[in-house]
Amino acid sequence: MAAQERLRAILRQGLAKLDLTLSDAQQQTLLDYVALLDKWNKAYNLSAVRDPLQMISRHLLDSLTVAPCLAEIQADTQHSLSVLDVGTGAGLPGIPLAICYPDIKFILLDSNGKKTRFLFQVKTMLSLDNIQVENTRIERYQCPEQIDIVVSRAFASLSDFVLGCEHLCQPHTRLLAMKGLYPEQELADLPSHWRLQQASAVQVPDTEGERHIIELKQTGKN
C-alpha cells in the first residue's frame, strides 16, 4: 500500500472510532496538513513527533477528540462560535478542528514566531479562511470580538490556564483543557471563581494512556 493510502486508511479508521463523519475533501485537507507539518518540521522543529503515521493519531485524532464538545456547545448557541486556541504551536488542536468545522472561526495564538509563520503558510496553502493567526502571548492579547470557547493542549496547570485567559472571558465563555490523567489536584487548586463544568474521558485511537477534556466555567454565571 502506498504511503499516502496507508495514512488515508489510518485516518479513516480513526475517524470511525471517534464517530466523526468528514467528507473526502476534509480528510484530504487533514492529510495535506500532515504533509506540510512533516515538511516544515524538518527545518523548524515544530513537533517532537517525526513520523507522519504517528502524527495521524497523536496530532489529528487527539485534536479531534474535542469535536463533540464543540458540537454540543454550538447546538446551544444561536450564533456561529468563535474559538481561541492558546499556545497552539503547530496548530493543535485548532487546525484539525477548523478543517472539521468550517463554519466556526478559530483564532490560533502562539508567541513563537517560527510556529506562527508555519500557521500562516498552512492557512494560505490549505485555503483555511476560518482561521486567524496571532503571534503574541495570551496575557497581552486583546480580542475585539467575543470569545465563546478557549481551548488548549499547552498549559502546565489549569490555574495558569484560567488566569492567563480570563481577561478574554465573558459570562458564557467555556474553557476546554486537554489533559492526560484526570487532574484532580489541579481542579482543587483552581481559583474560587472558576469551577468544573464537566470532565470527559476520551480514547484517542491507536494511542495508549489516559486523556481527559476538562470544561471550566466561571462560578455564578450561566
What local confidence, expressed as pLDDT, does residue 44 receive? 84
Residue 111: pLDDT band (50, 70, 90) is very high
Question: Domains (ranges, CATH) in the chain?
Answer: 66-218 (3.40.50.150)
Give CA–CA dist 130/132, Å, rounded.
7
Q: 20 among the known binding-site residues?
A: no
Evaluate if residue 187 carries a pLDDT over 80.
yes
What local confidence, expressed as pLDDT, does residue 210 receive? 92
User: Cβ distance 86 to 106 under 8 Å?
Assistant: no
The Cα-based distances of 98 to 64, 84, 130, 140, 177 in angstroms read 10, 11, 7, 24, 17
Mean confidence (pLDDT) of the chain: 93
**Span 31-44, pLDDT tens digits:** 999 999 999 998 88
Strand order in the sheet with 105-110: 131-135, 105-110, 82-86, 149-152, 174-179, 211-218, 194-202
Average pLDDT over residues 130-135: 98
Q: 89 among the known binding-site residues?
A: no
Evaluate if residue 222 carries a pLDDT over 60.
no
State percent of the chain over pLDDT 70.
Answer: 98
Burial class (CB in 10 A: 0-12, 13-18, 19+), 138: buried
Give CA–CA dist 76/222, Å, rounded.
12
Evaluate if residue 189 carries a pLDDT over 70.
yes
**Span 57-70, pLDDT tens digits:** 999 999 999 999 99
Q: 92 among the known binding-site residues?
A: yes
